[in-house]
Amino acid sequence: MPHIRIRDLQKHFGDVAVIAGLDLDLADKEFTVLVGPSGCGKSTTLRMIAGLEEASQGEIWIGEREVSRLEPKDRDIAMVFQDYALYPHMDVARNMSFALRLARYPKAEIDARIRRVADMLSIGHLLDRKPAALSGGQRQRVAMGRALVRDAGVFLFDEPLSNLDAKLRNQMRAELALMRKRVEKNMIYVTHDQIEAMTLADRIVVMHAGKVQQQGRPEDLYRAPANLFVAGFIGAPPMNFLPVRLDSQHGQPMLLGRDYTLPVPHSRMAALASYAGRDIIAGIRPSALRQGLGPEGAPALTLHIELAEYVGAQSVLVTRCGGERVIVEVNSEQRLAGEGEQPFWFDPDSLHLFDPETEAAIR
Amino acid sequence: MPSRHGLNRASPYFFLAPAAAVALVGLVYPMLRSVWLSFHEWSIGTPPESARFVGLENYRWLLADDSFWISVGVSMAFAVAVVILEVVLGVALALVLDRDLRGTSLFRTIFILPMMIAPIVVGLIWRFLYNEQFGPLSQALKALGLPGIPWLSSPDMALISVIIADVWQWTPFIFILALAALQGLPASAIEAARIDGATRWQTTLYIKLPLIAPVIAVAALLRLIDAFKVLEVIYILTEGGPGLSTEILSLHIYKTAFVSQQLGRASALSNLLLLIVLMLTLLLVLARSLRERRAGKE
């Protein structure tokens, strides 16, 4: 079973480097999500793995084979496209069996596979329909089915849910997660939606400007973002950033902002040694701030609540801390608990610190 | 004041009136006149009052006339041959040029030029090319030490020669429509086929061609109708000869009307031609809707 190894993968369009030296190692049977904003190079990377886009340089290994010069059909892959890419003139069964028919599988085998996958995706009743007679969600299932009937080593997904409406997208996302448990294959999934990435991935690769910013398990990326970009991209609502300066106050090292003071987390004392007197960016997640003063000695920020957005079980408070905007996520029972200036406490270790020049996390 | 409703109901007819008037003068009247004429015997130059009603005599005469049936045969052979050749060549060219390589846009432009030339000029160009003494084709054959070909002087060769000229002029029509259809195909479906393991040839055969088939069918139908009406090129090249070997229906009509000056019979002929073209069209439309209904049921 293939393990995927990518070394120094590059893609240039003229003088513009879209991907400038990408290295990736994907373990077998892993569900990897490439995530990043539009134009970060994630789709191009996927298309280079598929062989639809030629790499300008670098190596792509699937299992024991270097495939970067091979045709897509010789790479042992199946792919689901963003716009489904169904063959409009073939019915669902023929769409799904196209690859198998080309490979001259016996008819009984083809029928059995289609039946099995169609049952799994609940599209058995659609087999004799043309794509034009299907809804968006049904087309999406057929596109998945067409990939799944093939016993490919690697499955590639190029933003497969982005053309669906929000409700259907949530439903399909859950089904994908279920399917992922039944089909133990190497899967690479591209999306710009960090929620999809967090819910589906064994491993997330965050990309920005043609470079890998960080990769790891979803919880690792959430708990310990490697840099400002990842910190701001993973998590919704996004992390709050407050500019501070490392200084001492009454003989104690403190992070001083214009209108606020933050404690220095003990775990980062040593790493901060060289930052005395320098600017730092402090980050804190909206859910790490809690209404009230908290236990004895817990640090707190005084926030001026400007707006409370009711989402359901959660409410999002839009507040100001001096000149900075700070987003807080609270349980909705607390929503009406007050307006105007209020204290919000937090655990000092929930602070993230970043070097403003390199944008890397200080740990 | 007229109600808004009344105004709305009348206004479409008001706006359609000019077009309807033009159609009446340019289309409906000539057609009715030709039907009327086909039941009469009348020569050019004599007053219309001298036309004599003969009933179905013109049609009866035509259907018994060998030269009519010969020209039906010539027309059929010509039309079927040019449509098949033009579709095959036009689609093949479009498949070859449907890619982004340097120079393809130049070739695309060159290939559609023949279509832009007036048919009379096309006829003259090919008469020069086919000239058995001075024409470049004969010169080339001679230079290669090969025997000359009686392009237009042999009855067997003449039909082939006029077919070649028509294919040269009208392949671009199929080409340009096929190319547009190919470029309008969803790129991802073709990529999906590549991933599914289709070779370039299989992608063309199983994905591209079926998807552009409806466009090609319409283009071929238009060419078929036109092929039955073609006149100028053949008139310039052979005047229907040698013998009747290239006398297609439209040329036969022309000769009956303006050489034999039998307008009644010529009208009867053109009505029969109209009938043939109409039937062909209906047949294709019928076949198409049948196929669509079958596809809908699937």
Q: Where is average pLDDT lowest: A55-64, A67-76, A231-240, B151-160?
A: B151-160
Q: Is the domain of A105 the same as that of A162?
A: yes
- The domain in which residue A288 lies consists of 240-354
Q: Is the domain of A96 the same as that of A213?
A: yes
Residue A230 included in any domain: no
> Please, which residues have CB within 8 angstroms of residue A126's CB and are 6 or more apart in sequence?
A92, A118, A134, A138, A142
pLDDT of residue A335: 55
Q: Mean pLDDT, chain B, as a whole number?
A: 85
Which residues on chain B are in Cβ contact (under 8 Å) with A85?
A: 186, 188-189, 191-192
pLDDT score of A42 more than 80: yes
Is the CB of residue B186 less than 8 Å away from at least one CB of chain A? yes
Is the CB of residue B205 less than 8 Å away from at least one CB of chain A? no
At B98, the pLDDT band (50, 70, 90 cuts) reads: confident
Task: Compare B241 and A199 and report the one with higher pLDDT.
Answer: A199
- Structural domain total, chain B: 1
pLDDT of residue B104: 79
CATH of the domain at B142: 1.10.3720.10
Task: Compare B241 and A219 and report the one with higher pLDDT.
Answer: A219
CB-nearest partner of B197 from A82, A99, A128: A99
What is the rounded CA–CA span in Å between residue A121 and residue A296? 55
pLDDT of residue B296: 52
Residue B257 included in any domain: no
3-state SS string for chain A: CCCEEEEEEEEEECCEEEEEEEEEEECCCCEEEEECCCCCCHHHHHHHHHCCCCCCEEEEEECCEECCCCCHHHCCEEEECCCCCCCCCCCHHHHHHHHHHHCCCCHHHHHHHHHHHHHHCCCHHHCCCCHHHCCHHHHHHHHHHHHHCCCCCEEEEECCCCCCCHHHHHHHHHHHHHHHHHCCCEEEEEECCHHHHHHHCCEEEEEECCEEEEEECHHHHHHCCCEHHHHHHCCCCCCEEEEEEEEEECCEEEEECCCCEEECCHHHCCCCHHHCCCEEEEEECHHHCEEECCCCCCCEEEEEEEEEEECCCEEEEEEEECCEEEEEEEEHHHHHHCCEEEEEECCHHHCEEECCCCCEECC
Q: Is the domain of A148 the same as that of A22?
A: yes
Is the CB of residue A79 less than 8 Å away from at least one CB of chain B? yes
Task: Compare B101 and A64 and report the one with higher pLDDT.
Answer: A64
Q: What is the average per-residue pLDDT within A122-136?
A: 90
Residue of A43, A77, A89, A140 to mutate for B, most B C-beta atoms under 10 A: A89
Peptide bond before A131: cis, by omega within 30 degrees of 0? no
pLDDT score of B297 more than 50: no
Q: Would you call A79 and B186 a contact, using CB atoms and an 8 Å cutoff? A: no
Residue A361 included in any domain: no
Which residues on chain A are in Cβ contact (under 8 Å) with B211?
A: 88-89
Q: Is the domain of A193 the same as that of A252?
A: no
Residue A203 included in any domain: yes
pLDDT of residue A336: 57
pLDDT of residue A166: 85
pLDDT score of B237 more than 70: yes
Residue B243 included in any domain: yes
Residue B160 included in any domain: yes
At A281, the pLDDT band (50, 70, 90 cuts) reads: very high
Residue B61 included in any domain: no
pLDDT of residue B128: 87
Q: Where is average pLDDT lowest: A283-287, B186-190, B243-247?
A: B243-247
CB-nearest partner of A91 from B189, B194, B298: B298
Q: What is the average per-residue pLDDT within A115-123?
A: 89
Q: Is the domain of A196 the same as that of A117?
A: yes
What is the rounded CA–CA span in Å between residue A23 and residue B177? 45
pLDDT score of A249 more than 60: yes
Residue A147 included in any domain: yes
Q: Is the domain of A300 the same as that of A180?
A: no
CB-nearest partner of A87 from B195, B207, B298: B207
Residue A327 included in any domain: yes
Which residues on chain A are in Cβ contact (under 8 Å) with B189?
A: 85-88
pLDDT score of A88 more than 60: yes
Is the CB of residue A91 less than 8 Å away from at least one CB of chain B? yes
pLDDT score of A129 more than 60: yes
The tokens 């994907």 sit on which residue?
A26
Q: How far is CA A281 from the centre of its chain?
A: 23
Q: Would you call B194 and A81 a contact, using CB atoms and an 8 Å cutoff? A: no
At B298, the pLDDT band (50, 70, 90 cuts) reads: very low
Q: What is the average per-residue pLDDT within A277-284?
A: 91
Is the CB of residue B191 less than 8 Å away from at least one CB of chain A? yes
pLDDT score of B67 more than 80: yes
- Residue-wise pLDDT for B11-52, tens only, equals 888 889 999 999 888 888 888 888 888 888 877 777 777 778
Q: Mean pLDDT, chain A, as a whole number?
A: 88
- Which residue does chain A place closest to B211, by CA atoms? A89
Q: What is the average per-residue pLDDT within B172-189?
A: 91
- What's the gap in Å between the CA of A76 and the closest CA on chain B? 9
Residue of A74, A90, A102 to mutate for B, most B C-beta atoms under 10 A: A102
- Structural domain total, chain A: 2
pLDDT of residue A218: 93
- The domain in which residue B95 lies consists of 73-248
What is the rounded CA–CA span in Å between residue A318 and residue B146? 91
Residue A344 included in any domain: yes
Q: Is the domain of A119 the same as that of A86?
A: yes
Which residues on chain A are in Cβ contact (under 8 Å) with B207?
A: 87
CATH of the domain at A248: 2.40.50.140
Q: Which two tokens stand for residue A26?
A: 């994907």
- Which residue does chain B place closest to A53, by CA atoms? B191
pLDDT score of B171 more than 50: yes
Q: Would you call B191 and A85 a contact, using CB atoms and an 8 Å cutoff? A: yes
Residue of A44, A77, A81 to mutate for B, most B C-beta atoms under 10 A: A81
CB-nearest partner of B194 from A73, A88, A128: A73
Domain-ending residue, one of A199, A224, A249 = A224
Residue B12 included in any domain: no
Is the CB of residue A86 less than 8 Å away from at least one CB of chain B? yes
- Residue-wise pLDDT for B198-236, tens only, equals 888 999 999 999 999 988 988 898 898 889 888 888 888
pLDDT score of A338 more than 70: no
Domain-ending residue, one of A161, A194, A224 = A224
Long-range contacts of B65-70 (CB under 8 A, 24+ apart): B67/B244, B67/B247, B67/B252, B68/B252, B68/B269, B70/B244, B70/B247
Q: What is the average per-residue pLDDT within B275-288?
A: 83
Q: Is the domain of A108 the same as that of A155?
A: yes
pLDDT of residue A334: 64
Q: Would you call B189 and A71 a contact, using CB atoms and an 8 Å cutoff? A: no
Q: Is the domain of A143 the same as that of A257?
A: no
Residue A231 included in any domain: no
Q: What is the average per-residue pLDDT within B154-175?
A: 90
Angle between helices A107-120 and A92-102 (to 10 degrees): 130
Check: CB of residue A56 under 8 Å from CB of residue A41. Answer: no
Max Cα separation, chain A?
Answer: 82
Residue A359 included in any domain: no
pLDDT score of A1 more than 60: no
Considering chain B, what percentage of its residues have pLDDT values greater than 70?
Answer: 96
pLDDT of residue B46: 76
pLDDT of residue B68: 86
At A315, the pLDDT band (50, 70, 90 cuts) reads: confident
At B136, the pLDDT band (50, 70, 90 cuts) reads: confident
Q: Is the domain of A52 the same as that of A199?
A: yes
Q: Is the domain of A248 the same as that of A216?
A: no
CB-nearest partner of B186 from A79, A85, A102: A85
pLDDT score of A214 more than 60: yes
Q: Is the domain of A15 the same as that of A55?
A: yes
